[in-house]
Structure 1
Amino acid sequence: MTGSPVFAADADSQTPAATGQGLAEIIVTATKRASNLQSVPVAVTAITGETLKTQRISEFGDLTRAAASLTLTESTASPNNAIILRGIGTYAFSIGVEPSVAVIVDDVPVVQQAQAFDNMSDVERVEVLRGPQGTLFGKNASAGAINIVTRDPTAKTEVTASVSASTDSDYRFESAVSGAVTQAITARLSGFYDNYAGNVRDLTTGSLLDDKESWGLHLKVKIEASSRLTIMLNGAYSHEHQRGTAAPLEYLAPSATGPHYNGVSLAPDLVGITPGQNNYAIYQDNPGYTDNQQTNLSAKATYDLGFANLISVSSYQDWKYNFAADVDGTDLNVNGTGPVVTSPVGPSNGVNQSGPYHSSEFTQELRLASKGAGPLSYVAGLFYADAGTTRSFVRGPVLSLADWHGYEGTRSLAAFAGLDYKLPTNTTISASGRVNNERIQDQFTDLLPSHNASVAAADANCGIGAPNCAGRHVDTVGTWKVSVSQELAPRVSTYASVATGYKGWAYDISSGYAPSRTANPVAAEHSTAYELGLKSRFWQNRAQLNIAGFLTNYNNFQAQSSEFIGTTLFQKLNNVGKLRTKGVEVESQVRPVEWAHLDGSFAYTEAKIVSFPNAACYSGQTFDQGGAASATGLGICGPSVSPTGLGNVQDRSGGQLPNSPRFKFNLAATAEHDLDSQTKGSVTVTYQHQSSVNFDLLGDPLDTQKAYGLLNLTLGAERGNYKLSLYVNNMFNQHYATTMSDNFGSYGVHSVVEVLPRDSQRYGGIKLSAKF
């Protein structure tokens, strides 16, 4: 999907575009210069503000409806979410690991990927750039970038507002006011409020979990300081709170002893629960909570030099996140008679965890971007970023003890440049490069009293005063991209490109930290991407067809997996040896007549682990499962051979990456018709389908989500300044999960829990919008 049902102007007055029947021209900044979507040699999905409204894309997670190559893994805690493009995402709990997909909001990259999972209020355009984008968008864009552009202030006074309510008790309000303050200053103030009741029942208390209450304000001020200087100021604040989170039981294996936790039978907590797709109930004695707030400030100054624009972007952002969660997932006394070692972080008869995050970052970018329509265009710039994140974590009070404090800091310096040159043969040669110098540092302090009993114990376990649990690493690397595009006919071109990507070294800051993690940070991730593409518009600008074929190789891919140390489950960051993702993407849109608009996108993605020979066995994987004791291969668990001493391992080479559907497609159709001389009616139908996925890097077959499809319907009536919409989401009530996990290590039997998004059940609603 690359457009929206809006009209477009065209240079030729005889084309349908000039008479309101063609496809809109969409301007994107995928190359950090304003360019027509169809002219840039980049695989990019541009989702316009009109499409966001028409398809009711109001949350970041809704973007999967419009971009076939995009999937999201959403957990009970937003820092554990993952944005995945072409099968590549970041699967890590450590605060020291940057995502593989960068998120940029109004020219500013977010510090933590969790910040992206916010309301999509008052957005002008979203660009989903697929494949490595590191040369222009930074090192944490090794798999792609999502560029979000909010609406600018308008000189004409404009007031918009909308209110909606749904059958699953979601109530939302959005509003914006824009206009001139003085002759040289315009401003836009927007805000939203959303209150959702939740969709999982806590049978212990009777309350609903996975609820959400959020609100935010955004002020954007444009100052025309002179005929050459324009300044854009941005300030935004948002806050989101959940009373509790949940992961209901989807599968429970038959067992003679039944599930248990620390020897305590979980049978009482199975009363009234039928594991399966329709289970939206749990027992928890600690419903927990999450609290997420962020503040973003930025200033963008553009000075017209005549031959080019000199642009400065300065930003500061602050993100705070806190949570509490029930680890054992029961309301039973699972601690037994063991002594309480740490202060309770929840009900003392269970296992609970909590801990705040705090991230802040200052960035400064200075770039020079060419102007005009000559054969040569270019951009060159410098970038500086200084970010720091702290996290405290407590788990207890008796079992699976943890109590630590961690810090991760990143300082980045970069220089980048890109240029395009168009030959008389309508051939355009493009090249870009970036040199990035990065310094990372970490500090970890284990606060458990048992770890601080002696100096020797403190040194060995990163206790207070341990000198070998603070690290520092510096790395300098270059990335580049070259491409050639050829115009075959007016509005038809093809391109080929080669690009490299990079994601820096990282410290694995999480429970289970030891001095070895300081001495051996996780190595940098590198990628090389090859892409062929076709971009075309035809049928008098009524149809568009874009095709991209890609192949990307990754070395030292950074990913997380679970392992048991003793009886406690820890998350370990790995360098998976080699990955390869390849596939084909097709995007099309057609406006056959003025009142109809059709969109479609399709992606075939084969995201494979090429080499991961000593992966841990997944939880509950039986010894030599799938083969003889001396055999090696995918799905076979046995003692490590080369090197020895790693315990039971498996060879994951050839496995599919987590949450990477081989097939995914989106379809959308909008039709409009005059109901009378003053009223216009509309109907929008969207359908999204994806093939099955597995959520476990280590390949647990029980963590598999079957193929599913979602059908949404919206009916609208617009009269004057008002529009009324009626909608139904997930019309056929199709169940699906955004992540799944096997609790074998905790419960003694295979027991799969899943996170169920709001859209996994059918709901309807009504929305009233006004614009003046």
Structure 2
Amino acid sequence: MRKSILLASAAATVLAAPCLALAQEKSESTGLAEIVVTATKRSANLQSVPVAVTAITGETIQNQRINEFGDLTRAAASLTLTQSTASPNNAIILRGIGTYAFSIGVEPSVAVIIDDVPVVQQAQAFDNLADVERIEVLRGPQGTLFGKNASAGAINIVTRDPSPRLEGRASATVTTDHAYKVDGALSGPISDSTGYRVSAYYGHYDGNVRNLSNGHRLNDNTSYGVHGKLRSELTDKLVLSLSGSYARSKSDGTAATLRYIDLNYIPAGATTPVIPKYNGVPILPALAGITPGPNNRRTRVDDDGFTDNKQASFSGKLSYDLGFANLISVTSYQDWKYNFSADVDGTDLAVNGAAPNVTNPIAPGVGVSNSGPYHATSFTQEVRLTSKTEGPLSYVVGAFYADSKTTRAFQRGPALILANWTGWQSTRSLAAFAGVDYKFPTNTTVSGAVRLNNERIQDSFVNLLSTATVYTSPTSIGTCGAGSQLCAGTNTDTVATWKLSVNQELAPRVTGYVSVATGYKGFAYDISSGYTPLRTQNPVQPEKSTSYEGGIKSRFFDNRVQLNVAAFLTNYNNFQAQSSQYINGALQQKLNNVGKLRTKGVEVEAQAKPVDWLRLDASVAYTDAQVLSFPNAACYPGQAQTGAGCAPSTNPPGLGNVQDRSNTQLPNSPKLKFNLGASLEHDLGGDMKGVLGLTYQHQSKVNFDLLGNPLAEQKGYGVLNASASVEKGDIKATLFVNNLFNEHFVSGIGDGFGSYGVHLTTQVLSRDSDRYFGLKVETKF
């Protein structure tokens, strides 16, 4: 905590120093622009809301090249992402809390909302950010107003509205890592009362991993999409907004690369090292030409794999001016489809034995692969009444209904770890919510919010393997084969969440606040491989949280310096997480309740514009996110063979080898993360100007494994990005470099000890883990 206070002070000092010298200097500029957010479901100045929120404006999105969801970590210090080669297995993490799970039946702890509409599956968020006006990263439980699954936070994305006059923009980008992108938008009036906006993009990236087996590049991406908005003033009081979008993102090859392999592993009782094998086949020939390590960008697989992500959405918004308030209705429908194939054995060797070669879904193969489509649909309806008067009282009252369904089919084989199943999940939510603020003459604002949520979840699972057995009664033993009537469940739950805060104006443009809030994420079915009838009878218990927060929001020096500080402590009970467990003597991946968690820390955000040609940005997050109680955690792969805290379970018995993971750091939760940025403008004469931009992001070490495998650790690292642009009239050209010092880092690490008999770790490498240069040319009218 002392370190966090020192860092907060340092950030404030660095940004304030240039302004101290200019405190007496007169300027016609108003300094930093005011930012309006909707973090409380009402439009309000960022500095007046008692919520820890990072507001990323369109200007910041452009200057820091925030093109995809993963780029948000550059601007929000409390945000990290865990990524895999398949986006449904990604995780969004705020203040150390996120949801990593294979099951389609569990919702993420961080909600993503796009134009008032929550996405169904977290994977939908990992897409291009096109034509965005503003992004709000709300930290801490936000469930009272944004829905029950926002138990750790919410990311609110607002796209641009139609403009009152004809305008347009277009841009093209090319980079040295074999990528290009074009995008554009056109907006204007149709009539005096109706306007439109249409935007589109297309991009391609060759990939950052070479498959030595066939010469193909893997981890490539081709994405394109279109988004349209129509806004019409039907009367002087009634406004209709229609929005629709379609996006597709696909890859013709996915892969993780070899980070480490232990060729000297000698098990207890043996005298010679283990030869790594997969299904009895030595895998060393598949390592030819590959040097394991963080710099490894090569692999050998017989199945390149693929991903295909399609989503379409439509929403309609009606706003009626009642004079004293606005009555707003938002209706939406989403359709998301995802399909994938992946090489499981990680080699190009014939490891199937007598089993037939793989012919589905894309090409013949001699190894083990898995594949299977997802399909999710969602209908939502929200109605809310929002005050609009400028008196001491403001409020929002509303109701929300959602009906979402997700299906998934999964196949794996053909030689071993066989799987062939279909699963279905349905969630129906009905909620009423209200929020109220009252400002007293003492400039003290008391705010309260409450949400009553009723939810019904349903699931079904069918094991299609020939060895599956039928489950017909609560006392029989089976594996949910076709005809197992009781391998489908229903659970209904009603819960209330609330938030209370006090906001005090301490001086002009300086306010302090304290708040307490509760969070909730409901029951969940673990719809994944290894499903047993017990999962139907015993859904994963709800995740609950209570958060305490205090902070100061301030602006100084004629509106040229902004400094916001927040301190927080949040307790979680029954945290839902994916981890290994011994089930009937076998180690399986399973969604389960970890136990008690606590995340606490300090966040500092500061901006300064000491002179009109210079802008400075800084954000620092010190986060201590720990598992307080996890006494019977499974041992990580290979730990049982090496000891080190791993022993047979005695209380209760029968769990296999376990360890105590109490008082340990959560996965991918850096204790320290900070972002620094600077933008300098210079008049080049005539109508030309130049802009130089620098950003630096640093984070401390993390471990990607909930069970603490030391081989899953990523050391601390920092990434420096730079850009230089020249603007003349309506044309702007920008040269930029990503990761100037070529600092290699990973977005995920896994250990294949159970498959190969030795520790063999693989790593997921994001595009930004390599240096590349680029040129972007854009125009507007």
Aligning the two structures, in what range does the TM-score lie when normalised by the shorter sequence? over 0.9
Corresponding residue for residue 354 of structure 1: 371
Residue 771 (structure 2) pairs with residue 762 (structure 1): yes
Shift of 1:646: 1.0
Residue pairs, 1:12-31, within 5 angstroms: 19-31=28-40
State the Cα distance separating 1:565 from its structure 2 match: 6.2
Matches within 5 A, 1:683-702: 683-702=692-711
Out of 521, 542, 549, the residue aligned to residue 567 of structure 2 is 549
TM-score (norm 1): 0.95
What secondary structure is seen at the aligned counterpart in 1 of 2:536? Answer: helix
Q: 1:149 and 2:166 equivalent?
A: no
Q: In terms of mean alpha carbon deviation, does 638-647 or 373-382 score higher?
A: 638-647
Q: Which runs of 4+ in 1 moved over 3 A?
A: 14-18, 338-348, 452-459, 563-570
Q: In the alignment, is residue 394 of structure 1 matched against residue 394 of structure 2?
A: no
SS in 1 for 2:127: coil
Q: Which residue, 682, 686, 691 being the options, matches 1:673?
A: 682
Contact 2:471/2:483, CA 8 A, preserved across alignment: no
Aligned-residue offset at 1:622: 2.9
- Partners of 1:515 and 1:184 in 2: CA distance: 58
* TM superposition shift of 1:645: 1.1
Q: 1:344 offset after TM fit, Å?
A: 8.0
Residue 111 of structure 2: which of 102, 105, 108 is its match?
102
Q: Secondary structure at the match of 2:709?
A: coil
Equivalent position amino acid for 2:385 in 1: L
> Is the 1:16–1:540 contact (alpha carbons within 8 Å) kept by the matching residues of 2?
no
Mark the runs of 5 or more structure 2 residues left unpaired by the alignment: 1-7, 12-22, 265-272
Counterpart code for 2:232: I
Residue 576 of structure 1 aligns with an amino acid whose one-letter code is: V
Alignment match of 1:601 (pick from 619, 638, 650): 619
| CA displacement 1:340-397 (0-9 Å, x = unmatched) | 8997886452111000000000000000000121100000100000000000000011
Alignment of structure 1 residues 223-262 onto 2, 5 Å? 223-255=232-264, 256-262=273-279
Count of equivalent residues: 752
CA distance in 2: counterparts of 1:506 and 1:108, whole angstroms:
22
| Whole-angstrom distance in 2 between the partners of 1:469 and 1:494 | 52
User: Residue 653 in 1 paired to residue 670 in 2?
Assistant: no
Counterpart amino acid of 1:445? V
Work out which of the residue numbers 468, 471, 479 in structure 1 matches 2:497: 479
Is 1:620 the counterpart of 2:629? The answer is: no
Shift of residue 669 of structure 1? 0.1
Letter in 2 for 1:290: T
Distance 1:343 1:541 in 2: 62
2:302 partner amino acid: D
Distance 1:372 1:655 in 2: 49
Q: Say whether the 8 Å CA contact 1:76–1:247 is kept in structure 2.
A: yes
What's the CA shift for 1:70?
0.2
User: Any idea what the Cα deviations from partners look like across 1:56-92, whole Å, max 9, x if unmatched?
Assistant: 1111100000000000011100000000000000011
CA distance in 2, matches of 1:341, 1:731: 42
| Aligned pairs (5 A) from 1:68-217 | 68-217=77-226
Q: Please say if residues 98 and 140 of structure 1, whose CA atoms lie closer than 8 Å, have aligned partners that are also in contact.
A: yes
Choose which of 291, 312, 327 in structure 1 pairs with 2:329. Answer: 312
2:365 pairs with 1:365: no
Partner of residue 539 from structure 2, selected from 492, 500, 521 = 521
Look up the equivalent residue of 1:82 and give its one-letter code. A
Aligned match of 2:515: 497
Instruction: Supply the distance in 2 between the matched residues of 1:89 and 1:174 (Cα, whole angstroms).
Output: 32
Is 1:374 equivalent to 2:383 in the alignment?
A: no
SS at match of 1:140: coil
Whether contact under 8 Å (2:469, 2:478) holds in the other structure is no
The residue that corresponds to 2:14 in the other structure is none
State the TM-score, normalized to the length of structure 2. Answer: 0.94
Q: CA deviation at 1:429?
A: 0.4
Tell me what 2:75 maps to: 66
Deviation of 1:182 (Å): 1.1
2:653 aligned to 626, 635, 644, which one?
Answer: 644
Aligned residue in 2 for 1:411: 428
Q: Shift in Å at residue 183 of structure 1?
A: 1.1
1: CA distance, partners of 2:65 / 2:525: 39
CA-CA distance at 1:563 after TM superposition: 4.4
Name which of structure 1's ranges 23-32 and 646-655 shifts more when overlaid on structure 2.
646-655
Deviation sequence 1:684-715 (CA, Å, 0-9, x none): 00000000000001111100000000000000
Residue 238 of structure 1: how far off its partner (Å): 0.3
**How far did residue 42 of structure 1 move?**
0.2
1:576 to 570, 594, 600: 594
The reply to whether residue 744 of structure 1 matches residue 759 of structure 2 is no
Per the TM alignment, residue 334 of structure 1 is displaced from its structure 2 partner at its CA by 1.1
Counterpart residue number, 2:483 = 465
* Whole-angstrom distance in 2 between the partners of 1:524 and 1:506: 7
Distance 2:132 2:84 in 1: 25
Superposed CA deviations along residues 444-473 of structure 1, whole A, max 9, x for unmatched, are: 000001215998999611001102200000
- Distance in 1 separating the partners of 2:79 and 2:25: 32
Alignment of 1:40-55 (within 5 A): 40-55=49-64
Among 321, 326, 332, the alignment partner of 2:338 is 321
Q: Distance in 1 between matches of 2:471 and 2:570?
A: 50
Secondary structure of residue in 2 paired with 1:451: coil
**Distance in 1 between the 2:729 and 2:357 partners?**
67
Aligned to 1:436: 453
CA contact (8 A) 2:358 2:368 kept: no
Task: Give me the whole-angstrom Cα distance separating, in 2, the residues matched to 1:339 and 1:202.
Answer: 23
Matching residue's letter, 1:295: A
Specify whether residues 497 and 581 from structure 1 end up closer, same or farther in structure 2 by C-alpha distance, changes over 3 A only. same
Gaps of 5+ in 1: 3-13, 627-635
Task: Give the distance between the partners of 2:411 and 2:729, measured in 1 at CA.
Answer: 56
What is the rounded CA distance, in whole Å, between the counterparts of 1:514 and 1:746 in structure 2? 23
Aligned with 1:713 (options 711, 718, 722):
722
Partner residue of 2:744 out of 735, 752, 766: 735
The CA distance in 2 between the partners of 1:383 and 1:145, in whole Å, is 17
Which stretch shows the higher mean deviation, 14-23 or 644-653?
14-23
- How much has 1:21 moved relative to structure 2? 4.3
CA contact (8 A) 2:57 2:134 kept: yes
Contact 2:444 2:503 in 1 (8 A): yes
Give the fraction of aligned pairs with identical amino acids, expressed as a percent: 63
Alignment partners' CA distance in 1, 2:731 and 2:516: 49
* Correspondence for 1:8: none
Q: Do the aligned partners of 1:338 and 1:398 also contact (CA within 8 Å) in 2?
A: yes
DSSP 3-state at the match of 1:64: helix
Deviations 1:577-606 (A, max 9, x none): 100000000000000000000000000000
Structure 2 residue aligned with 1:562: 580
Q: Find the residue that maps to 2:500 and give its secondary structure.
A: strand
Deviation at 1:570, TM superposition (A): 3.5
Q: Which residue of 2 aligns with 1:283?
A: 300
Cα pair distance change 1:234/1:459, threshold 3 Å: farther
Cα distance in structure 1, aligned partners of 2:575 and 2:583: 23
Q: Tell me the distance in 1 between the aligned counterparts of 2:27 and 2:684.
A: 25
Aligned AA for 1:359?
Answer: A
Q: 1:425 to 1:18 in 2, by over 3 A?
A: farther
